[in-house]
Amino acid sequence: MKFKRRLQEELAINITPLIDVVFLLLIFFMVTTTFNRETRLLVNLPEANAELAESMPTQIEVIVARDGTYSINGRVLVNNRLDTLMRGLELESNGDRSLPILLIADAEATHQSVVTAMDGIGQSGFTRLNIATQRAETEETLRTNPN
């Protein structure tokens, strides 16, 4: 009987350190976890309060339409692929990469089509990119000229 009692005492497992480790892990994961809350913003682009710049006669105008089609200096491209845009820029610039590019995008054009146009302009080697915006209408302008 004495042997049995000693055996039971030796087999007891202390789980206190295990519980401490579990609580520390729980606290660690609670502190380091980030909770993402997806929000949707209504954005109406583009508007700015900058002064109107004089149009340079030797610049290339790239227009992004509402449906994502591209035009270079008034000529509509056959498709909206990146390589077509880059080829059109090459033909229009005659190899002169120092020409400024004016990017005009419809306010309701997709962000992807505008980014694709900017990417094509950058990959073509142009470094002077201007983005056209329109001046935001103030309440006073709306009151004096409702149309």
Cβ–Cβ under 8 Å, residues 107 and 80? no
Give me 19's structure tokens. 């519980």
What confidence tier does 127 reach under pLDDT thresholds 50, 70, 90? confident
Give residue 139's pLDDT. 45
Taking all residues of the chain, what is their mean pLDDT, rounded to a whole number?
76
Task: Report whether pLDDT(120) > 80.
Answer: yes
Give residue 44's pLDDT. 52
Cβ–Cβ under 8 Å, residues 131 and 106? no
Give residue 92's pLDDT. 87
Task: Report whether pLDDT(48) > 80.
Answer: no
Task: Report whether pLDDT(3) > 50.
Answer: yes
Lowest mean pLDDT among 4-8, 96-100, 109-113: 4-8
Cβ–Cβ under 8 Å, residues 50 and 131? no
Cα-Cα-Cα-Cα dihedral of 120, 123, 127, 132, to 10°?
A: 10
Give residue 41's pLDDT. 46
Cα-trace Rg, the chain: 32
- Evaluate the CA torsion angle 11, 15, 18, 20 in order and state its sign: negative
∠ CA 45-48-53, rounded to 5°: 120
For the chain, give percent helix, strand, coil, nearest 5. Answer: 40, 15, 45
Distance CA 3, CA 112 (A): 79
Which amino acid is residue 138, in one-letter code? T
Average pLDDT over residues 65-82: 86
Give residue 51's pLDDT. 62
Average pLDDT over residues 52-76: 78
Task: Report whether pLDDT(26) > 90.
Answer: yes
The verdict on pTM exceeding 0.75 is no
CATH 3.30.420.270 fits 47-135, yes or no: yes
Task: Report whether pLDDT(111) > 70.
Answer: yes
What's the distance, Cα to Cα, between the start and end of the chain in Å? 104
Average pLDDT over residues 28-43: 68
For tokens 């909770």, the residue is 35
